[in-house]
Structures are given as C-alpha cells and as structure tokens.
Amino acid sequence: MIVEEEVSGVDNQVAGFLHEIKEEFRSNHELVLSKLHDNSIEVSTMKTILGHQVNVLEVLANRVAILEGKSSAPSKGTKTTQQPTKPLPESKGPDSKSRPLKRKLDFVDLTDDDTAILYSIRQRGIGSPFAFYHHKGLLMKAEETPKCLDVMFRPPDGMTFDGDDLAVAVFIFASGMNESEILVEDSHCDGSRRRLLSLMPGKELFDDVINMVVGMCTTCKVSQLYWWLPTTFSEMILKPQQMSAPIMEYIKNRYMGLADELAMIYVPIHIGNHWYLMIVDIWDKKLMYLDSCKSTDAAATNTRIEQMREVAKYLGVLIRSRSLWKNKEAHPPLISEFDPEEAVTGQQAPGTMDCGVWVCQWMINSHKWLDYDIEPVDERTRMRVAVQLVVGPHNPLAESVTQKAVKFWNSEMVRNYKEEALGGPMPKSPARSNNPTI
C-alpha cells in the first residue's frame, strides 16, 4: 500500500524521467550515471519501482545498485532468467555533456559509508576538494589541487597536467609518506621517494635523480645517435678510487653492438658542489661546455675544461672499440682531438641549488633544438621532471604508482570530509600507508 501511494504520488514526475533515461541508457550509459547522480530523489523512487520490474529495466536496476556501492540482487518474489544480459554497445565518444571514460579504479576496500562520501565530494571551485574521478577534463590545472591536501611541494600555479599526472605530483610530494618507497624502477640507481624529494625547491639534487633522467632518455630514445652516460662515468675517470667494473657493465648492456653512427654523447660532470654537462658533438667535432653557473675566475673555468679533456680521452678510447659498433669496419672519431667550446646558455639564479636540474633539462631537451639555450629552470621545471620520471613509459612501475596516487587523492578527500563533519581535524599518523585503503 505504501509503495502504491509513493508511486502514484510521483507518477507524472517520474514517468517522463524513466522514459528519457531508458532511451539515453541505450546510447550513452555514462550520461545516465551522471543524471542519476543529479536526481537523487527520483533515484530513490526508482529503486522502489525497479524492485518490481524485470526484463526491460533489469540493466538499469543493476546500475542503480552499483551507484550505491551494493551488489545487485533480485527482489523477493521476482523471477530471474538464467540468460546473461545483453551487453550494452560501447559509446563511440562522449559528447560535451557526458563524462569521459577514464580513471576507472576498483575501490575494493571501500566501505559503504566511504563510497557514499566519495560520490558527494564535488569540486565547487578552484582549490576546493573533489573526488579525483569526478573531474571531467582530460587536462587539469595545478590550481585545482585542493587546499586541504598536505603537500611539501605544491604543484606550481600555471602548470597543466595530463590525465592522472596531477594526482601523481601530489603523491610524490605528500607529507608523511614512506620515503623509502620505490617510485621509479631503475637497476642502476635508487628510485625512491627520498631521492625524488630532492627536486623540491631549494634542495640540492641527488645524483640518483640525474641517473634516473639518463635511464629515461636512454630507454625512450628513438635512435642510437644519442648516448646519455650516468654520473659514475666521469667519477670513474676523475676519481680513480671509484670502481670501474659497474660502469663498464652498464655501457656494455646499453650500447654494445648497437651503434651505427653517433651524433652526441651526454656526460654529467660533478666538481665540488656543482654540476655541469659536457656534450660530445661528434658531427661538429666539438666538446660543448654547458654550465648554468659559469665562474668569473678563469682558473676555475680552466679546471673544468681540463676535466672535460680527461673524460674525452677515456671516452675516445672506449668508443673506438669495435664491439660497440654494428659496422665492424666503421671508423670511430678521435674525440680526444675535439676542441672545447662554451655554449651560450641561461644561468641559474644566484644562491640557488639548480645546477643539477639544469643538467637534467639539457639532457632531456637540448637535442631537440638548434642551440643549447633552454628556458630558465624554476619550480615548474622541478615538478615537471619529477612527474616525467614517475609516469614515463621507461618506468615499469608507472601504472601501479598512478593507481596508488588516485586512490591516495580520494582517501585524503574522504579524510577531509570526515574532519569537517566532526567539526575539527582528525588525528594523523606520522607516516601513512604506501597502499591506501581507497
């Protein structure tokens, strides 16, 4: 009796709505989900009606159950057929009103209460909280990062992130996370969060970050014309106490028998507390000297030039080995005879610790342009390098870390929602789990 009264009371209101939903459901089920979210009263009434329907509305009933985080089950007294429901045709592409098919994560650890909270967290403006999968755009702005997120290095204003990259940026630099967690898999260096945190503004860069960039460039290269050597190569030459076996194994594994022709070789060099880059330009027969903090002292500059000559001598002997070349009749160049040349480059701001980041940027970008004068390094550069290292195709952990990042984002939104509901901040543990429950 109660059901009949409830149905009759909203008959005129719901009848048209049901007809519209049924038609749209066949063509674009993502749009239906959006409408169900925005019409909670009608959804509640539809639940009652759907409990007594079969066949035509069966698929829609399942969708309503999914929206509330519950598994669908037949109502009492309802007979179900054993034939599987015919799958809906996939949408060829969402229109301007529908939500893109993206960020489909399996929230297996969500409680019913947390599921309800996630669906109610919507962005009301720039910087306000939102559940990550609610965002409709393929691009996200740094300014959209919720202010409630506790981040040691907040994505700088003006940056635009693709897909899930904003969540990854937050996940890398979130406060209280396990710094020993490996975010970049590289057999030649430490790809932990602790190393990536050295990309925070004002921090001195770990050499492991430069080596991660070397690995990224080497893995993603489109030809064998370019070589990127790790920091240990120049250390082996300039610091004789360093073991040479690991670096030789590195070069053999990555380059032996692959080269047909060489254009440029990138060699990061460290002196004191300063990084600079030597580029062996084989086509123009030059040793390019790239330094973001060139010394006004001629003696200091000469010291760096002499370091480059020493590295070039050893490198010249190495590349003349026939085992590195596909064509055993090739005539490798005499690198030791190349003349050093100072390139025209930008300079880092006084008092900053940006020299290592400049070296990273030169290795990533300089082979794409006709000169070496890249854009100045700033906070956006540091953030961009960190995200590239984690989400790039060179990183076997990219997909799993991205999944963790989106789950972490949503768990923080639920935490914030509960804090506001209780009228004050909830206690936070010093270190958070590497595997968020949602």
Q: pLDDT tens for residues 170-202?
A: 999 999 999 999 999 998 899 999 999 999 999
Euclidean distance between CA atoms 17 and 423, whole angstroms: 38
- Give residue 256's pLDDT band: very low, low, confident or very high (50, 70, 90): low
- Give residue 104's pLDDT band: very low, low, confident or very high (50, 70, 90): very low
Range among 24-38, 144-158, 252-266, 413-427 with highest mean pLDDT value: 144-158
- Give me the pLDDT at residue 380, please: 96
pLDDT at 109 over 80: no
- Give me the pLDDT at residue 75, please: 37
**Averaged pLDDT for residues 127-150:** 85
The encoded tokens of residue 402 equal 């991205």
Residue 215 Cα to chain centre, angstroms: 16
**Better pLDDT: 52 or 18:** 18
Name the nearest CA neighbour of 268 among 394, 363, 186, 375. Answer: 363
pLDDT at 19 over 70: no
Percent of the chain whose predicted confidence (pLDDT) is above 90: 34
Sign of CA dihedral 295, 300, 301, 307: negative
Confirm if 154 and 146 have CB atoms less than 8 A apart: no
**Averaged pLDDT for residues 317-329:** 68
pLDDT at 369 over 70: no
- Give me the pLDDT at residue 116, please: 75
Q: Can you state the angle between helices 11-27 and 29-38, rounded to 10 degrees? A: 150
For 196-233, how does the pLDDT look when each residue is reduced to its tens digit (9 = 90+)?
999 999 999 999 999 999 999 988 776 677 889 999 88
CA distances from 351 to 58, 202, 355, 375 (A): 67, 9, 11, 19
pLDDT at 100 over 70: no
- Give me the pLDDT at residue 418, please: 82
- Give me the pLDDT at residue 125, please: 77
280 strand-pairing partners: 265, 287
Half-sphere exposure of 392 (CA within 13 A, CB side): 23
**Averaged pLDDT for residues 244-270:** 71
- Give me the pLDDT at residue 93, please: 32
- Give residue 128's pLDDT band: very low, low, confident or very high (50, 70, 90): confident
Which contiguous run of DSSP H or E holds residue 140?
strand 139-141
pLDDT at 31 over 80: no
Confirm if 31 and 88 have CB atoms less than 8 A apart: no
Q: In degrees, to the nearest 5, what angle opens at C-alpha 117 toward C-alphas 115 and 122?
A: 115
pLDDT at 108 over 50: no
- Give me the pLDDT at residue 269, please: 95
- Give me the pLDDT at residue 426, please: 47
- Give me the pLDDT at residue 420, please: 75
Report the predicted TM-score, pTM, of the whole model to 2 decimal places: 0.70
Mean pLDDT of the chain: 74
Confirm if 227 and 215 have CB atoms less than 8 A apart: no
Q: Can you state the angle between helices 58-67 and 11-27, rounded to 10 degrees? A: 90
Least confident stretch, 10-19, 134-143, 260-269: 10-19
pLDDT at 42 over 80: no
158-177 as b/e: b if 16+ CB within 10 A = ebebebbbbbbbbbbbbeeb
Give the other-Cβ count within 10 Å of 183's Cβ. 26
- Give me the pLDDT at residue 178, please: 94
